[in-house]
Amino acid sequence: MKKFIALILALVMVMTFAACGASEKFDPAAKSEGTMTYAEYAAAELDADVVIECYVQATQSWWDNKITVYAQDPDGAYFLYELACSEEDAAKLVKGTKIKVTGYKGEWAGEVEVMEGTFEIMEGTWVAEALDVTNLLGTVELIAHQNKFVCFKGLTIEAVEYKNGEPGDDIYVTVGYNGESFSFCVERYLTGPETEVYATVGTLNVGDVVDIEGFLYWYEGVNTHITSVTVK
C-alpha cells in the first residue's frame, strides 16, 4: 500500500510540473505593459514616440556607437536605424535576441523606420521564417509586409551593377517577374564582400533564374536587401 501511495504521489507531481510548464510556455507575440503592439506601431503617426518589443533578425555593421537592426515579431517587422549601441552590446545582438526599443517613428523614401532609438535586451528568442511574397510583386499589397524576412521564387536576373563600378560596395540587382522589373540590393553593411551571397551575386548572368531571400526594405518602391540567392 505504501508503494502504491508513493507511486500515485509521484504521478501527481509529474502532472503538476507538466501543467506548470504548459502554462509558462513562451509566447513570442506577448508584449509587456506600456509596449505597442505591431498594429499600434503601424497606426502611429510619423514623428510619434514609439516603444516596441521585437526580435533581432540581422544587423548591419556596428560603427561609431551605432547599429542598424532588422527586427521582427510574429505580427510585423521593424527597421531600427542606427540604434545607440556600444560595441560590447552590439556583440549581444545575435539573431533571435528579444529587445525593447524606444525611439520615434520616421520615414525616408517610403521606408518606415524607428529612428534615434535606444534599446534594452530582454528574455526570450524567436526567429522568423521567410515569407513567400512572390505573387505580391507589383501589387499594392506588398508594402504591408515591409521590413519582413521574405523570399521570392523564380525571378529572372536583368542586370547586376556594382555601386561605384567595382566590387567592394553595394550591388544593385534588377530582377524581372511577370513582365515587370524590380530593384533589389546587396547592402554591403549587411552582407559584405566577404560573404557567400556577395560572391554569388557577383557571378550572376543576365537571364539566370533565381530564388532570393532577404529583408523587404523600401526605397521609392521595393528594394529588398538580399541575404541569400539560389540559382535554379
Find, among 94, 90, 77, the residue nearest to 142 by Cα.
77
Contact assessment for residue 98 and residue 57, using Cβ atoms and an 8 Å cutoff: no
**So what's the pLDDT on residue 3?**
52
Same fold, 38-125 and 131-231: yes
Task: Concatenate the DSSP letters of all residues of 4-48 into one string.
Answer: HHHHHHHHHHHHHHHHHHHHT---TT---TT---HHHHHHSPTT-
Instruction: Delimit the domains of the chain by residue range.
Output: 38-125, 131-231
Using a 10 angstrom Cβ sphere, with 0-12 exposed, 13-18 middle and 19 or more buried, the burial of residue 198 is buried
SS3 2: helix
Distance CA 89, CA 83 (A): 11
pLDDT tens per residue across all 232 residues of the chain: 545 454 455 554 545 444 444 446 889 999 999 999 999 999 999 999 999 999 999 999 999 999 999 999 999 999 999 999 999 999 999 999 999 999 999 999 999 999 999 999 999 999 999 999 999 999 999 999 999 999 999 999 999 999 999 999 999 999 999 999 999 999 999 999 999 999 999 999 999 999 999 999 999 999 999 999 999 9
**So what's the pLDDT on residue 11?**
52
**So what's the pLDDT on residue 25?**
86
Task: Concatenate the DSSP letters of all residues of 142-208 into one string.
Answer: GGGGTTSEEEEEEEEEEEEEEGGGSBTB-EEEEEEETTEEEEEEE-TTTS-TTSHHHHHHHT--TT-
Query: How is domain 38-125 classified at the architecture level of CATH?
Result: Beta Barrel (2.40)
pTM assigned to the model: 0.89
**For residue 183, what are the β-bridge partners?**
174
Distance CA 142, CA 152 (A): 12
**So what's the pLDDT on residue 192?**
97
Local structure of residue 130 (DSSP, 8 states):
P
Find, among 170, 152, 140, 159, the residue nearest to 206 by Cα.
159
131-231, CATH topology level: OB fold (Dihydrolipoamide Acetyltransferase, E2P) (2.40.50)
**DSSP H or E segment with residue 49:** strand 49-59
The residue length of the chain stands at 232
Contact assessment for residue 102 and residue 155, using Cβ atoms and an 8 Å cutoff: no
